[in-house]
Amino acid sequence: MFYQNGTMMREFDTNAQGVKCVNVFLDKRDGRLDDLAIMCTIVTCIRTRVVSITDHAMHLDMPLCVSIRVPGDHHNRESILAAAELSAESLRSHVAAGSVWIDRALLFQR
């Protein structure tokens, strides 16, 4: 879903024990936004709890979805969401710096 310095960032094993995915669903109209605005939308969705939490990265199966991987032993929804927010904020800062960008074809054109 993301490229860093010209290389697709490695997908992760969502079958690993303890890994959860926080899935954010976008609207087709979000395709008009730049990558930084999309990342801000993702962070906002996590903060406002407009997400789903699954054991499987839903972006692998459906368009308009970004899955944020949350490894570790989290025992409640709030802990998972807090970790996802930190990960999304980190991605957002890399997008702002220009070292990471979104695979828009994967996100919007499937």
Rg over CA atoms, the chain: 13
> Which has the closest alpha carbon to 102: 51, 92, 20?
92
- 7 assigned to some structural domain: no
pLDDT at 15: 55
- 61 assigned to some structural domain: yes
**DSSP secondary structure code for residue 110 in this structure:** -
- 3 assigned to some structural domain: no
pLDDT of the chain, 110 residues: tens digit per residue: 899 988 888 765 545 677 899 999 999 999 999 999 999 999 999 999 999 999 989 998 899 999 999 988 888 999 999 999 999 999 999 999 999 999 999 899 86
- 94 assigned to some structural domain: yes
- 4 assigned to some structural domain: no
- 43 assigned to some structural domain: yes
The greatest distance separating any two alpha carbons of the chain, rounded to the nearest whole angstrom, comes to 37
- 98 assigned to some structural domain: yes
Question: What is the domain extent for residue 88?
Answer: 12-108
Count of structural domains, the chain: 1
Q: Is 66 helix (H, G, I), strand (E, B) or coil?
A: strand
